[in-house]
């Protein structure tokens, strides 16, 4: 299949224009975050993404705590096909489906896909135009036998070292490698689709957590390669800017404030009436202020401590200076900018005690012709699209009913 130019979709509450990958069919065998992210990217951009699940469902549907948001976020705009791939009937059905697909996406162990006959070598014989994207912990090499998690590669890939204080490595507060690894998998698919237009053939794309993490810390690796000086963890780094820090202010509130150029320094000193700092011979330029941070930052902490975060934010905003309130993720659900710009859209939750209820989801952080790719389908219920998809593949109603049973 090639992307169609005829389909129309609905995004949010408004009719959407044609999406780039409308008409593209993706079959995914994925769970957790990395693989589903790749499918979500392609689905948000218009592809028909079919999530093949076991009859008991993707285990991610049942996660609690910090995993409770995984399934509803990363599986929007997808269809669910529940099959027993260990049975001859389930295996035949999924092979029929893959014969109609442009892309297969997976993030299971290589041996698992080989045992099922769903590895790249097997499937390219069935469909030479197929693009097969595999999401792994490591690209092929000495580490590829290891079991990887986001936290594992953050620790071994330098990111936890950079985030934490010296001697206290700390993982980033979100699934950065899983999410970006899935995004790079999607970028690889896009490149392979462009290549297929020239060759008529598909290919295998591989994306990996460890290599993604190394790419994230590459700027610090390059710093050492260029200067011979190792990068210090972020809490101990030598800042490039004179003022670039979190300040504790009135009533114990916190706010991030930055003054990153000589022009901004002039504005800052004038706005706050700090003529003594403006004329201080030790502080004529940003580089001078970086060298004097040892006394300058404590001095500013003392001067700003009696002001509220709201007052400081208003003044910095008025003067065009960089600032940020310290915000918790759940506070962003009521963020006025996100709400005004369409950054949030409603979905219907498919599972758990809140099944059937509406919840806001976060859309892609870019626009196309002024519009964000939106939600066409809420995250699917388990097997929600079995009848539709199996009927299209030529199965009779009784066969469809039999395949949906445990």
For the annotated catalytic residues, the residue numbers are: 178
Please list the helix, strand and coil fractions of the chain in percent, rounded to the nearest 5, in that order.
45, 15, 40
Task: Work out the burial of residue 161: count CB atoms within 10 Å of its CB; fewer than 13 is exposed, 13-18 middle, 19 or more buried.
Answer: buried
319 φ/ψ angles, rounded to the nearest 5 degrees:
-90, 0
Quick check: 63 and 71 in contact, CB under 8 A? yes
Asked if residue 104 lies in contact with residue 404, where contact means CB atoms within 8 angstroms, the answer is no
First-to-last alpha carbon distance for the chain, in angstroms, is 32
Q: List the one residue out of 155, 179, 158, 156 whose CA is nearest residue 107.
A: 179
Rounded to 5°, angle at Cα 201 from 198 and 206: 105
The SS3 of residue 395 is: coil
In whole angstroms, give the CA distance from residue 360 to residue 10. Answer: 17
9-36: buried (b, 16+ CB within 10 Å) or exposed (e) per residue? Answer: bebbeeebeebebbbbbbbbbbbbbbbb
| Residue 207 burial (10 A CB sphere; 0-12, 13-18, 19+) | buried
For residue 361, report the phi and psi dihedrals to the nearest 5 degrees. Answer: -120, 160
Please choose, from the candidates 350, 343, 349, the residue with its C-alpha nearest in 3D space to the C-alpha of residue 373: 343
224's tokens? 């050492």
| Beta strands 131-136; 204-208: pairing state | parallel
Residue among 74, 207, 200, 80 nearest 138 (CA)? 207
C-alpha torsion sign, points 223, 227, 232, 236: negative
């Amino acid at each position: 299949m090639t992307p169609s130019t005829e389909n129309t979709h609905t995004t949010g509450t408004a009719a959407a224009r044609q999406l780039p990958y409308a008409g593209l069919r993706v079959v995914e065998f994925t769970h957790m975050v990395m693989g589903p992210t790749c499918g979500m990217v392609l689905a948000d951009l218009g592809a028909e993404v079919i999530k093949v699940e076991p009859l008991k469902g993707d285990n991610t549907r049942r996660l609690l705590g910090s995993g409770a948001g995984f399934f509803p976020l990363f599986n929007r705009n997808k269809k669910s096909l529940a099959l027993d791939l260990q049975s001859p009937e389930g295996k035949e059905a999924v092979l029929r489906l893959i014969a109609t697909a442009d892309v297969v996406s997976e993030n299971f162990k290589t041996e698992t896909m080989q045992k099922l006959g769903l590895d790249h070598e097997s499937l390219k014989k069935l469909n030479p135009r197929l693009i097969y994207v595999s999401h792994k912990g490591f690209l092929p090499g000495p580490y590829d036998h290891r079991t990887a998690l986001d936290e594992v590669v953050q620790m071994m890939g330098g990111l936890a070292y950079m985030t934490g204080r010296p001697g206290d490595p700390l993982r980033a507060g979100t699934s950065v490698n899983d999410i970006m690894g899935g995004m790079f998998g999607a970028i690889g698919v896009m490149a392979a689709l462009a290549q297929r237009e020239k060759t008529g053939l598909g290919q295998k794309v591989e994306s990996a957590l460890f290599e993604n993490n190394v790419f994230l810390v590459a700027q610090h690796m390059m710093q050492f390669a260029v200067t011979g000086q190792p990068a210090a963890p972020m809490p101990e780094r030598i800042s490039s800017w004179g003022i670039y820090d979190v300040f504790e202010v009135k009533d114990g509130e916190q706010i991030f404030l930055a003054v990153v150029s000589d022009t901004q320094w002039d504005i800052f000193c004038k706005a706050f009436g700090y003529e003594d700092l403006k004329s201080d011979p030790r502080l004529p330029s940003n580089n001078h202020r970086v060298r004097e941070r040892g006394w300058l930052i404590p001095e500013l902490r003392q001067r700003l401590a009696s002001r509220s975060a709201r007052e400081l934010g208003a003044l910095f905003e008025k003067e065009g200076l960089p600032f940020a309130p310290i915000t918790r993720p759940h506070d962003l659900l009521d963020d006025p900018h996100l709400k005004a710009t369409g950054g949030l859209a409603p979905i219907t939750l498919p599972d758990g005690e809140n099944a059937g209820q509406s919840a806001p989801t976060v859309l892609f952080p870019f626009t196309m012709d002024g519009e964000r790719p939106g939600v066409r389908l809420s995250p699917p219920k388990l097997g929600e699209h079995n009848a539709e998809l199996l009927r299209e593949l030529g199965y009779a109603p009784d066969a469809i009913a039999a395949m949906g049973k445990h």
